[in-house]
Amino acid sequence: MKLRNYQVAALDLMYAYFTHNTGNPVLEAPTGAGKSVIQASFIRNVIEAWPDQRILCLTHVKELVKQNCSALRRMWPAGDIGVNAASLGSRDTTHSVIFASIQSVHRRAHELGRFDLIIVDECHLIPARTADGMYRKFIDDCLRYNPKIKVIGFSATPYRLSGGLLIDGEHRLFTDIIPAKAAGMSIDDLLAAGYLAPLTTYPVRTQLDTSSVPVRGGEYVAKDLAAAVDVGAVTRAACDEIIALGSDRDAWLIFAASVEHAEHICEYLQSCLITCRVITGETDDAERDDAIAAYLRRDVRALVNVNVLTTGFDAPHTDLLAFLRPTMSTSLYVQMCGRGMRVHPAKHDCLVLDFAGLIEKHGPVNAVEPPRRGKKGDGQEAPVKECAGCLMLIHASTRQCPYCGEVFEFNMAPKISGKASTLDIMATRKPERVAPTEMWCARHDKAGAPSSIRVDYYAGLLRVASEWVCLFHQGRAQDRAYGWWRDHVGGVVPSDIDQAVTVAQERARIPSYIYIQFEGKYPRVVSRGFDEEAA
């Protein structure tokens, strides 16, 4: 298995860290960077160099257990590798390397024995306080067998909502972050190299109103959030926009705020003849696996989920994300965005429809500012309103005044903004240079206009840009088309569109590089160049 340059760089940074440090590092690696491959290479190198070492790889969902274990087995077929996950029907305990779900082992440290290294995938899920959660209790148990055990975290988002960065806080487990930029694998780096698909957005007029939803522990209170956003008229208005704006999109992944909210979204989409399934934390394993399989086969166009498909879910063909789930968590926002950034031959980007105001709250996904831990007592003030009956200040979500009994009416009509939001899901970037590996030409027909040639540029599996060569139009469009023909093909332009497509596909030379600008709905080719010596 050949590693990408940035994966090699990430490994070098990890080795360098342990040469000079004694702490527990977190490797920041965006969704799509190949964390499982980096992890597998690191494990193999460690065991081959020190055969007596034992390594435990922890995560929270069976899909990641399988994915990470499979990556190591492909890279190292002779390795002594086991799996301990009840959901996968395996309870291995004696191997040199064990991949485990935390739910299966958190009370079984005594069965597994001594480890020298613990690797935690999606480590941002480990709570901040020492005694909280399965991860911390289990790691504390492991430390009794080996006080010198090292812990390495992997995460696309090395920060949590309530505690800031994972290295913040008195009871921190992790001491240092190895940033993605240091290895050349930031989101922008991976986009430029063609390893991630870009996100684009389109203004939506329906907006979920969370102004009256209380906040606890840095996040919206789930019950109050569900009541605020699960409003029939709002749901129908948002779904109508998804159907209209997603008409040319094949695979829709929708994030809902509650089980009932998800079911209402699904019911309305199905009533509009959109094939749709729901996955929640209450969905049993068999039904969940069946729904995901149907989505991957494209038997189902829309998949609505509640807090279960933000990590460990890999569906590269997803080309539309719909956010109907508000969150104050920057980490959750970035993880949700990551579900649409996998590359796939059938898509050039992923459309994001933000009904929850997440872009405005957290910023472009490639330019988010991780939350930092504030002083004790810091926090948002609870939203309040004045009771017209007794003039007392009460919580904005209160439906009846606790002092005088005044009943408040709520307007449950969908909140439609007068002006659609124009915020972009990705920060504006300068034109990026890409070296195409393939170029395909095909006829493009549009009602009411002459036919043209659609040219798709690929870098590996990712279609990085498309442009339309309008040889039979008029004015500037035709002038640009003749310039394209001169640069790529040369000679006389055929008088027939089908012949022009055939000649272009057979004879057009691939540019050595193109500069593309990500703006609007499609990435735009702004210039190109040819390496004449190589040609």
Mean pLDDT estimate for the chain: 84
Helices (H), 50-148: 62-75, 102-105, 109-112, 133-145
Taking alpha carbons only, the member of 357, 381, 256, 242 closest to residue 301 is 242
Residue 83 has pLDDT above 90, yes or no: yes
**Higher confidence at residue 316 or residue 447?**
316
**Higher confidence at residue 252 or residue 86?**
252
Taking alpha carbons only, the member of 22, 30, 26 closest to residue 6 is 30
Query: What pLDDT is attached to residue 233?
Result: 92
Q: Which domains does the chain have, with CATH numbers?
A: 5-191 (3.40.50.300), 197-371 (3.40.50.300), 432-529 (no CATH)
How many angstroms separate the CA atoms of 497 and 504, rounded?
A: 10
Query: What pLDDT is attached to residue 162?
Result: 59
The 8-class DSSP code of residue 77 comes to: T
pTM (2 d.p.): 0.70
Cβ neighbour number for residue 203 with a 10 Å cutoff = 14
Contact 434, 194 (CB under 8 A): yes
**Higher confidence at residue 255 or residue 184?**
255
How many angstroms separate the CA atoms of 31 and 156, rounded?
A: 6
State the pLDDT confidence band at 217, using cuts at 50, 70 and 90: confident
The 8-class DSSP code of residue 508 comes to: P
Query: What pLDDT is attached to residue 149?
Result: 92
State the pLDDT confidence band at 396, using cuts at 50, 70 and 90: low
Q: What is the pLDDT of residues 24-59, one digit of tens each?
A: 999 999 888 889 999 999 999 999 999 999 999 999
Q: What is the pLDDT of residues 51-67, one digit of tens each?
A: 999 999 999 888 889 98
- Number of helical H runs and strand E runs in the chain: 15, 28
Across 495-506, average pLDDT = 93
Query: What pLDDT is attached to residue 50?
Result: 92
State the pLDDT confidence band at 69, using cuts at 50, 70 and 90: very high
Query: What pLDDT is attached to residue 405?
Result: 62
**Higher confidence at residue 162 or residue 228?**
228
Q: What is the pLDDT of residues 355-379, one digit of tens each?
A: 998 988 888 888 777 666 554 433 4
| % of the chain residues with pLDDT over 90 | 37
Residue 382 has pLDDT above 50, yes or no: no
Taking alpha carbons only, the member of 145, 90, 159 closest to residue 113 is 145
Q: What is the pLDDT of residues 404-442, one digit of tens each?
A: 566 666 555 555 554 555 567 777 666 778 889 999 999
Query: What pLDDT is attached to residue 192?
Result: 83
Query: What pLDDT is attached to residue 62?
Result: 85
∠ at Cα 38 (37, 43), nearest 5°?
Answer: 95
Q: What is the pLDDT of residues 120-159, one digit of tens each?
A: 998 888 876 656 678 888 988 998 899 999 999 999 888 8
Query: What pLDDT is attached to residue 386?
Result: 52
Residue 517 has pLDDT above 50, yes or no: yes
Bridge partner list, 351: 200, 320
Length of the chain: 535
Residue 64 tokens, joined: 């990641």
Q: How far is CA 212 from CA 220, 224, 306, 313, 382, in A?
A: 10, 9, 21, 32, 9
Q: What is the pLDDT of residues 445-492, one digit of tens each?
A: 888 788 999 999 888 777 788 888 999 988 767 878 888 898 899 888
Query: What pLDDT is attached to residue 272?
Result: 94
Give backbone dihedrals phi and psi of 27, rounded to 5 degrees, phi first: -95, 120
